[in-house]
Structure 1
């Protein structure tokens, strides 16, 4: 852990929340979520950690407590070595679920990530996210913390959706299964917000990301992934593991024939049905070779997730339909150590590897096969094009054409001289183009350029931030939150002294405002008063939270206060109430209805609440200055917003110092916070006088705030 405190070395936080991830003996193929991506992120973590410029690499994933799984996945920290570790945070259900079921719980992961970063005391220099779910979490962390985000998509929603529709699936059915609508929306957002998008191939940029509206961001960098050539190598003279031979040969009536090998997860888009149709529909190919399908691990198909069950049941039905018994092997179990041996076994028998996936952003198995001296036949979609161009070791086919797949396999098996050339080319090509050392060298070169640009941009910003431009929110020890009108502003001399004090304490003190003004109005008032944009802005009477000069909205807060909020229905019910007139549109917000009030005509608040209950509506009514009524979600208020910030950022509520001058500040002044009431306060705050944790200042506006800081000792202890 010493390396993480070396500020001169890079600290990279990678996020990959789904699948089963551990440092050793990964359960590849156990389900549709544990495959190439899990291999990629663990091997990338190891390779980065070996580099002299990297001090720490953390891979953040989900902590899972499930009696059906190894206890490895319930360990909060797994040390990998060389400054690398796997971090597991609990979020969502405690048991294991497929990735599509995690979307409702990703905000919780973002919050718990912030808590973790506060506890360890150093922020990452870079956040690298994998797949859309991690991208969503990383986007929040990046924008909240001021840390650049690098994103790797692995597979993309739009092309996968298109291929599934082309294969005959119904749009409503695949939407229920895969949540494409939300996934694609997140992927579109990432193309705008991420500082860099890493792809494996140029084709991924032009054709797959080319399907997205925001594809012209210019943030793409092509870096082919690496493979561990120490694990994947040609068979040579070594003997094949007898366990692996038995695992395959026990299925065959004639085991000496060449092997057609496929290794993938039991997922629909992997198109195993297309492979079986190709083999089953070609008697010549059946006579020439055996088919080996390694599609994950299972004890009982009926115990797998629904999607995997469907794929494997259809696979077995198709094998029976074509009467392929004795010609097809479909082992129930394998481990990570068996995979290199399977490639070598197929190469020893002069076989061929087949990847018939409908869509393949890269194709890590193709690199592994090539490194093992095993030629391949692969889908013409995506990454395989670049691999064939670099390695010259196989053929590409249309994955929707079983006849073409069968013909390509036949060709690969029939020409022995071509087979030997492809086998040799693959081994040489992988060493030249796809080593992890080459990947990391280019990765860090691009990251260095990115961080230099980011630091220059930060130096141009004027804000209450740490010197390195990162947000102080996760590491600060205390927070000062003030109302604006007649509290923060109104006394130029006192305000200048307060701003100077805040700049002196940037990094250790969070500065925020809490106001009834809209965000736009608050920003304009602060600029006119020459107040730098605060670290956090609570606006529209607590219905909105935004951060720093980017005015980044807090998505978690918006999701939280949306509970029971029915804006249109509330507006309809209140439209005929005497004494209430809607304010101009500029004062209305998604989570706020604002009215001007004729106090002598308006019913009492109790009567208004009763009216809402009769219509089964829920809202918080804020009546101020006998002139204004704000209607908010029941969970929204300045006080609730401050308590939410305390939870979200792991900062104790008693370390918040809040400042107000009027009755609508009452809620945030009460409770465990420390409070300052400025000398020019309204009479409605007088009932708070004498409370232990609320100080009534004599000074007005900012002078009163400075007086309160001295009263609580903040001016002395936080230098």
Structure 2
């Protein structure tokens, strides 16, 4: 009776558990259906709005032609993958490009990356992407026209990983040295460059890297600046050789590449490898976890936002397949196939796109090195393949595998994949175990990474491996399945050879495979394939025609496909030969040729001052005049007065008359001559410090910079904070060792009265980051420098504008925003949001928010802009009462990087002072290598809901436990002084 009671209780509990799981799955499905419906309606509305704008300037005939041209474009991107066609054609192309000296930067920051003996399969972060980026870097380094390739990754000095991952630099030895020219310089070739960021002595998974992204960006920026200068001395005639492209791989590196691209004004390329929205959909369909639970595990919302930013910033997105474009990128707000075709058709006709931009999606399949591969000859009439070089001993890994089999002569079905649920290994084992004819005819080999103790593996991987072992036991597959614990990456070719020698088959039955590089590797060794019909294998099969595609959810489909190939010798031989005949389509030379031909079409956006005579490094012994050595170059790019935009010298959104431009140029020339004359008469540090119009180059000479970026306080508190910081640092301020920058969402026209009301001189600051980072100004006290009636004592850095103007929508964006504001006002029945003409400027469209309840949070505004292909950075400030739209790669944190790039102000020598909360760009001020002081107290405004409603938590962006962050209670001078001394800004 006791036993029956226990069984009944157990069954009852199981029934309730199953019922709850089914209920949870149904609830999740309902929520996702509602979310999908809302998203579809939003996208349809955005398309209608965009279509209305894009149709205004088209005649009826042009409107009719529009779809036809779009269809032509669509067809042009379908069909066969681009190819060179022959080895001779590759040689011709190489000779045409051999004189170029390109510098390419690749970024892949997670996992364990090294050039030799890669530990593929050690963990979920060290997989096919690691091999791909290393081989891509190596192949590009061997390509004619490419001088240097840097693969930037994370430096790891953890005790549980090999010492090689802590080496700062590793040269990738070329595979084909005969391809290298005789004129290669000392810094040429391909390198892995490891940047230290995050926990110094800890190897952490990619989900924990997000708070450290900005620290990586700052470290990478230093390396690229130094390398550009070195390459300039070698092959650039003394001028910096900037990267021709910065290429991010996966979302984390893409986020980093976007920031680096914006800081350096260099084109960005992105490869997703796998995409967050697709993974989210797959996990939701399983019904095991809610959206919040998935996000807690995978940081999926932070990843998706990074991928959306990559669409905003990238000029080209490289995919492996067409399926990735249509089925995966189509899930994103920032990409729409229909919109992309319309915009491309308009560009082709030379018709305005009204500020709308889409990245180009280019399918380029990954490459492979085939020169060392010699497939076995096959005699179809014999029981096994002929043994080429049979006198040589068998590779050791063969014995490690063969020891599992009772009959090792049978054809081998080979699977090479991590024990990850999405790889679908358990379904493969079930298919094999339940198909008795297949079991009698073949063996199964499972290469599932490397392991020592299953209990020490990650919970996910350990669960998959345990399930596989239980299935082997369930179907009594002992003697028919091999599952070795260890293998080296260098042994993988031998494993392919063993499978081919037994006339075996390679299988990849993942639920979805972004590409499937192992399928190409297997084909190169003469192995036919059985592959999933979801993802990249579809395109691979179209090119190679060397196997069968299957539904990964249907184990009978998998088993029958395997049985057909191992039982039909003629079919096996045909698939084998097709693969060998077409495999050259996936060679690295062809990949690099296609890659560089696309990259070569990108417009160079290098810094405008690169041809000037300025030096970014100024020694302490330089004379005061040295800091003005490039004043002629700089003055031509400095606007003497901010308000001249509104007083007629230049209109707000970039339209100016010829006479206005001439007046501005005359004034700038007058300023240049005056400054040049002034430098001849002045000498000594004191003279420079008292000359307002000459003061801005002093940024280069400061030992430390304090950046005041406190947003969450009233104006009176901000003025007092500034005064107290000046008081706390009076000694260093007077000596010129310490400089100051004010960073704010306010326009320059608002900064001037704010400071003067508190008795603060404009010249107390070295620079002003205004309008949320869309303007960078320097102080000027010379009345002759003023052009506007307001006579604001500022000079705007137009070089900075050239850095941030990428994809700025201008008047087209403003038109859309005015319509959006009108809709919000109509919905609320009042004037909820209105354009702020006084605070708007060339690169900032500003609005006053009179009813915060009537406007959406930042994440929804970003979505609205992205759906309409409008690329911009959206920010709320002043407790949600102000709304700024600025260029997509502009921000206050990016402005600090510009100060480093332009003037050599070391980011590590900056201390940023912030409040407990701030504008919606607050998170960007807390990361990076700069120090941060957080002022705490009741004077801080409570965070507005518009600020808090981000799609991910602040902890996914900022590491609050890093040593460079300190908190101060209040803003008393003594407390501020102690904090500044802690970070070395003041003497102890």
Give the TM-score taking structure 2 as reference length.
0.51
User: Which residue of the other structure, out of 59, 82, 91, is the alignment partner of 2:197?
Assistant: 91
Deviation of the 1:304 alpha carbon: 2.6
Mapped contact 1:34–1:265 kept (Cα < 8 A): no
Q: What residue in structure 2 maps to residue 651 of structure 1?
A: 905
Mapped contact 1:200–1:361 kept (Cα < 8 A): yes
Mapped contact 2:121–2:448 kept (Cα < 8 A): yes
1:441 paired with 2:593, answer yes
User: Which residue of the other structure, out of 267, 280, 301, is the alignment partner of 1:148?
Assistant: 267
**In structure 2, C-alpha distance between the alignment counterparts of 1:641 and 1:83, rounded to whole Å:** 30
Deviation of the 1:74 alpha carbon: 0.3
Mapped contact 1:143–1:552 kept (Cα < 8 A): no
Mapped contact 2:265–2:803 kept (Cα < 8 A): no
User: Which residue of the other structure, out of 306, 321, 327, is the alignment partner of 1:207?
Assistant: 327
**In structure 2, C-alpha distance between the alignment counterparts of 1:65 and 1:35, rounded to whole Å:** 20
More helix per residue: 1 or 2? Answer: 2
1:537-556 alignment to 2 at 5 Å?
Answer: 538-539=769-770, 548-549=801-802, 551=804
1:503-518 alignment to 2 at 5 Å?
Answer: 518=746
1:188 paired with 2:336, answer no
**In structure 1, C-alpha distance between the alignment counterparts of 2:443 and 2:667, rounded to whole Å:** 84
1:80-479 alignment to 2 at 5 Å?
Answer: 80-81=172-173, 83-94=189-200, 95-120=202-227, 121=229, 122=240, 123-172=242-291, 173-213=293-333, 214-215=335-336, 216=340, 217=358, 219-236=360-377, 237-239=388-390, 241-431=394-584, 433-450=585-602, 454-455=603-604, 465-467=609-611
**In structure 1, C-alpha distance between the alignment counterparts of 2:527 and 2:892, rounded to whole Å:** 65
Mapped contact 2:642–2:748 kept (Cα < 8 A): no
Mapped contact 1:643–1:653 kept (Cα < 8 A): yes
Q: Deviations over 1:658-710 (max 9, x none)?
A: xxxxxxxxxxxxxxxxxxxxxxxxxxxxxxxxxxxxxxxxxxxxxxxxxxxxx
Deviation of the 1:392 alpha carbon: 1.0
Q: What residue in structure 1 maps to residue 737 of structure 2?
A: none
* Two-structure CA RMSD over aligned residues (Å): 4.5
Mapped contact 1:484–1:514 kept (Cα < 8 A): no
1:598-677 alignment to 2 at 5 Å?
Answer: 651-652=905-906
Q: Deviations over 1:40-77 (max 9, x none)?
A: 11111111111120000010011011222111100000
Mapped contact 2:317–2:359 kept (Cα < 8 A): no
**In structure 2, C-alpha distance between the alignment counterparts of 1:116 and 1:397, rounded to whole Å:** 47
Mapped contact 2:251–2:303 kept (Cα < 8 A): yes
Q: What residue in structure 2 maps to residue 696 of structure 1?
A: none
Give the match's secondary structure for 1:96.
coil
Distance 1:47 1:199, change over 3 A: same
Distance 1:288 1:76, change over 3 A: same
Give the match's secondary structure for 1:119.
helix
**In structure 2, C-alpha distance between the alignment counterparts of 1:268 and 1:147, rounded to whole Å:** 39
Deviation of the 1:210 alpha carbon: 2.2
For these two proteins, the number of residue pairs brought into alignment is 559
Mapped contact 2:225–2:901 kept (Cα < 8 A): no
Deviation of the 1:248 alpha carbon: 0.6
Mapped contact 1:61–1:87 kept (Cα < 8 A): yes
Mapped contact 1:160–1:269 kept (Cα < 8 A): no
Mapped contact 2:274–2:514 kept (Cα < 8 A): yes
Distance 1:474 1:447, change over 3 A: farther
The gaps in structure 1 that reach 5 residues or longer are 1-5, 526-534, 554-582, 595-620, 622-637, 657-719
1:67 paired with 2:159, answer yes
Distance 1:548 1:243, change over 3 A: same
**In structure 2, C-alpha distance between the alignment counterparts of 1:80 and 1:157, rounded to whole Å:** 31
Mapped contact 2:416–2:446 kept (Cα < 8 A): yes
1:39 paired with 2:136, answer no
Mapped contact 2:115–2:134 kept (Cα < 8 A): yes
The gaps in structure 2 that reach 5 residues or longer are 1-97, 174-187, 230-239, 341-357, 378-387, 620-626, 629-633, 648-662, 677-693, 701-739, 754-765, 778-799, 807-832, 849-877, 879-890, 911-988
Deviation of the 1:88 alpha carbon: 0.3
Deviation of the 1:105 alpha carbon: 1.1
Deviation of the 1:518 alpha carbon: 2.7
Distance 1:287 1:544, change over 3 A: farther
**In structure 1, C-alpha distance between the alignment counterparts of 2:159 and 2:511, rounded to whole Å:** 34
**In structure 2, C-alpha distance between the alignment counterparts of 1:292 and 1:195, rounded to whole Å:** 43
Give the match's secondary structure for 1:337.
helix
Give the match's secondary structure for 1:11.
strand
